[in-house]
Amino acid sequence: MEEKKPSTADILAKIRAQKAAAAGGSPATAPEAAAVPVAEPAPPVAAALVETAPVKPAAPAAKPGSTADILAAIRAKKGGAAAPAPATPAAAATVAASAPVAAAAAGPAKPLPSIAEMVRAAKPGAAAPVAAVKPPVVAPPMPARPLPPSAKKGAPAPARRSLAGLVTVAGVSLVSFVLGGVFASPVLIAIGALIWCVLLSPFAMAWAALSVVTGIATLGTARFMFPNVLVEPPSKFKIGPPSDYPLNAVSNKWKDQFGVWIVHTDQYEGKDLIYALSTVCTHLGCTPSWLDGEQKFKCPCHGSGFYITGVNFEGPAPRPLERVGLRVAEDGMLEVNKSMKFQEEMGQWVDATSFVDGSLA
């Protein structure tokens, strides 16, 4: 006789009975369960569904939580039982996952790892961090020194100047410089600089040009410190005792320095006098010359002539030469005072300060 297939209700009742038996329940329940009326036979598909009912999968391993959870887990590992419990299940899972890493990181002197390292270590299956090894720094080789243009292949080597040649060139240049300075000739100075520059080197050329410019600027500055000032001789000066001037003689001793002649004569109105005549021609201001052979002053500009007394007698000069002040000083010396002028046509030659008695000579 063919055996009857159990229905779904039977299967369920059987399962419940087995569960109750396993749980130590009352044995009376088993018959009850067994006595559950059977309805209708369940299809085989239902049994298969019951047997192969999907079992609810276990919850996946908790992923690491936030950074705070990771840090809490590491602290818990380090602190042992005293450490606070993780706040969340995820943190607890993180503790379990990161335990090897924390244990490996524990050490007396090892510093705390960075957050990035802790995150990397907290991830399941993460490998232990490997310290990056920097490659050794190798200095690049120095490039080859470029050759000068003159050192090209096949180019002849520059001829070396001899010491004697250099000395000769320097001497010629120096002489030119000195002559240019003595005669104040910029041409000679430029020639000296040119010789120095062309025959020596571009370096010397640059230095020579710089030196010349600097020298000119220095000379200009020094010249600026000494402006053109007309230094006139003093108006009063002593010319020695009267005995230095003999009768009927004209002394040129003070002509160039002070612009006066010292005349000792008795030809003016028959009086023996010593006086000082100005060397300025009364025509247009030239300087006449005393002609001892002709006993007269002759102006080279327009030919005016003056006697030894100073009175004009030829040429365009309109009036006699002028006298300047003369007196005998306290020390017996003759003293000329050019600030005093005496004109014959004005009757000033009779002034006692315009002459000295010739008998004192």
Contacts to ligand FES by CB under 6 A: 281, 283-286, 299, 301-304, 315-317
Nearer to ligand FES, 123 or 319 (CB): 319
* Least separation in angstroms between CB 241 and ligand FES: 32
Q: How far is the CB of 317 from ligand FES (least distance, A)?
A: 5
Q: Which of 279, 354 has the CB closer to ligand FES?
A: 279
19 vs 302, beta carbon nearer ligand FES: 302
Report the C-alpha gap between 134 and 131 in whole angstroms: 9
Q: How far is the CB of 310 from ligand FES (least distance, A)?
A: 13
Closest approach, Cβ 285 to ligand FES, in A, equals: 6
Q: Could you tell me which residues are beta bridge partners of residue 250?
A: 263
* CB closer to ligand FES out of 215 and 303: 303
Q: Are the beta carbons of 311 and 357 closer than 8 angstroms? A: no
Which of 259, 316 has the CB closer to ligand FES?
Answer: 316
CA 245 to CA 289: how far, in whole Å? 18
CB of 282 vs ligand FES, minimal distance in Å: 8
Q: Which is nearer to ligand FES, 179 or 301 (CB)?
A: 301
Query: Number of helices (H) and strands (E), helices first, in the chain?
Result: 10, 11
> Within 13 Å, how many C-alpha atoms sit on residue 324's CB side?
21
Rounded to an integer, what distance in angstroms lies between the CA atom of residue 248 and that of residue 290?
A: 13
Measured between alpha carbons, how far is residue 356 from residues 98, 242, 353 in Å? 135, 9, 8
Nearest-angstrom CA–CA distance, 317 and 297: 12
CB neighbours (10 Å) of residue 196? 24
CB of 298 to ligand FES, least distance (A): 9
Measured distance CA(178)–CA(327) in Å, rounded:
51
- Calpha distance 356→112 (Å, rounded): 122
Which residue type does 344 have? E
We find the least distance from the C-beta atom of residue 302 to ligand FES, in angstroms, to be 3
Q: Kindly state the helix (H) or strand (E) to which residue 17 belongs, with its residue range.
A: helix 8-22
**Comparison of 54 and 285: residue with beta carbon closer to ligand FES:** 285
